[in-house]
Amino acid sequence: MVPPAAQDRPEESLSLWSDRSESTFALGEWIGREAAGGEVLALVGPLGAGKTRFVQGLAKGLEVAERYITSPTFILMQCYEGRLPLYHIDLYRMEKAAEMEALGLEEFLEGEGVAAVEWADKGLEVLPPARLTITFQYAGEDQRELHLSASGSHYQEWLRKIREARRWKILDGKK
């Protein structure tokens, strides 16, 4: 389970190049395998930028049995059982943070599973301060830049491991 300490170190960031959707999927899968429970992943980016593809990889890494993970835009949240529960939350239709609070999302954001929140920029004030924020940006037809921002030592350790794994092209110059 992720330790509750939110800001034990200053925020750290890392930018990656994804040259195809499989690379985005692989990052999600890697994070799913690393997850210990209690993680919050804030996913930000325009339509079609790869947020749901990332969650599909995350589900595989969490050993979720479902074959096809879709964005829960109209139902707001979908729970999947795996090695750890996956709470796939979509805030696209949310207007105000108060709406999210009324839905009781805190229970899932503080739960023992992994919460992947698409369109997280619509509710950052409701999300816990300790989290991994991933911003997806178009960089071509199939190419994306993924900007990872880690708040909390648990997520910062993930960034260190991603750098060391050398599976993804790092854009910020750190090796």
- Enumerate domains of the chain plus CATH numbers: 13-170 (3.40.50.300)
Q: Does the predicted TM-score (pTM) go above 0.85?
A: yes
User: What average pLDDT does range 130-155 have in this prediction?
Assistant: 93
Which residues, at least 6 apart from 69, have a Cβ–Cβ distance to it below 8 Å? 52, 55, 56, 59, 78, 80, 88
Report how far residue 81's alpha carbon sits from residue 59's, in angstroms, rounded to the nearest whole number.
9
Q: What is the pLDDT of residue 175?
A: 39
Tell whether the model's pLDDT for residue 2 goes beyond 70.
no
Mean pLDDT of the chain: 85
Supply the pLDDT for residue 77: 82
Q: Give yes or no for residue 14 having a pLDDT over 90.
A: yes
Among residues 17, 43, 53, which one has the least CA distance to residue 138? 17
Question: Is residue 67's pLDDT more than 50?
Answer: yes
**Average pLDDT of the residues in 42-70:** 91
pLDDT band at 100 (very low <50, low <70, confident <90, very high): low
Mean pLDDT of the region 127-143 = 91
Distance CA 24, CA 56 (A): 9
Q: Is the pLDDT of residue 174 over 50?
A: no
What is the band of 125 on the pLDDT scale with cuts at 50, 70, 90?
Answer: confident
